[in-house]
Every structure is written in C-alpha cells, then in structure tokens.
Amino acid sequence: NPAGFSEGPAIALGAVEARVNLASIFDDTIEIELLRLAQPQINYETKITRDNLRALLANLPSSDAGSESEEAPATDSAKKILLRRVEILGPLLSVTAALGSTQLILPDIILTDIGGANGGASIAAAAEVVIRELLGSIGEANLPSLDQVRQGVEDRAREEVEKIEDQLAEKVEEALGTSVDALSNRLRNLRN
C-alpha cells in the first residue's frame, strides 16, 4: 500500500497460474500466454480526495523509464512482457472508507493482448493496465450507498452504546447492593 494508507497490501494475489512461452525467456520480450489470479483480495481504501489504488498508479514508474540511454546495455529490468490473456477470477473487494467498510465479490476480469500493439510493455505499464481495469470494475460495482454505510455505522454505534449501558447498569447494581448491605448492617448495629 502507498504511504498514507494502511500497512496491509493493496492487492493480495491469491492462487496464481502462469503459462509462459519458455522460448521467449531469453528474448527482450517475455511472452506470457496466461496469467490467472484466482480470488485475489483487493483492499480498496478511499479517503475524501484520494484512494490507495490511484496512489499506487501514481507511484508506478512511467512507461518511458529505463530508456535513458540507447547505448545502455539491456538488463533484466529493461525486459518487456506480452500478456496474451489475464484472468482475474472472483476478486474479493474490501472497501474501507471513513464511515465504515464492506466486502463484496467483483465480476471476473478478462484482459487480452496487453503490450501486443507495441511489441511488449514494461511491467509497470502492464500493471497500470490491470489496476485501471480493477478501478473500472470497482466503479461499476454495486457498492453500498452512503445511506447504507451510515445506517451500518449507526447500528454498530447503537450496539456499543447498549453494551456500555449494560456494563454501567451492572456496576451501579453492584455498587448499590454493596451500599444497601452496608447500610442494613449499620442499622442492625444501631438497634442492638
């Protein structure tokens, strides 16, 4: 997660299956036939003016990164990837906002040919495509309305108040019981 948000991960991958064209491993562009993520956990934290996934996007290196010098030798970090098919199956969304939180399952996301138009994409550019698609799916999700979230917060607050009232009533009864017993004993002692 980016700075300013919880320490937990923004995205926990879940079960991962990858099919890679092994012949492409030593090429400049690694071809990934299939990348399947089953039930990844997306922790979406939203604040008034920003959210963790957009902050994560802003922290990704630009797609121009790594092309500082044409004479620089190619390194593993300069490799590109070509994602033929990305399947994000049953993504579990946890939304955390100031008023409360909720969980739901997003529809499956299927992406094809990431980096195909340009002969490959940097890992950052491919990640950007996937995260933007996740954000689009979150935007289309049937998230609870503010009224529903507010009602949930009110219900939880009401439950907490009831717990405190019960604890207070027990303490008062306990204190009164002890005081009444002490007063009764004093009155008996006065009569004797």
SS (H, E, C) 89-144: ECCEEEEEECCEEEEEECCCEEEEEECHHHCCECHHHHHHHHHHHHHHHHHHCCCC
| Residue 87 contacts residue 36 (beta carbons within 8 Å) | yes
Task: For residue range 147-164, list pLDDT tens digits in order.
Answer: 566 666 677 778 888 898
pLDDT of residue 75: 45
pLDDT, average across residues 82-107: 87
pLDDT of residue 147: 59
SS3 content of the chain, % helix, strand, coil (to 5): 40, 30, 30
Task: For residue range 29-44, list pLDDT tens digits in order.
Answer: 999 999 999 999 988 8
Is the whole-model pTM more than 0.95?
A: no
pLDDT of residue 2: 78
Within 8 A by CB and 6+ apart from 16, the residues are 35, 36, 37, 38
- Tokens for 136? 């689009």
Q: Which of 38-42, 127-131, 140-144 has the lowest mean pLDDT?
A: 140-144
pLDDT of residue 16: 93
Q: How many angstroms separate the CA atoms of 21 and 19, rounded?
A: 7
pLDDT of residue 33: 95
Question: Which of 102-106, 128-132, 144-148, 178-182 tops mean pLDDT?
Answer: 128-132
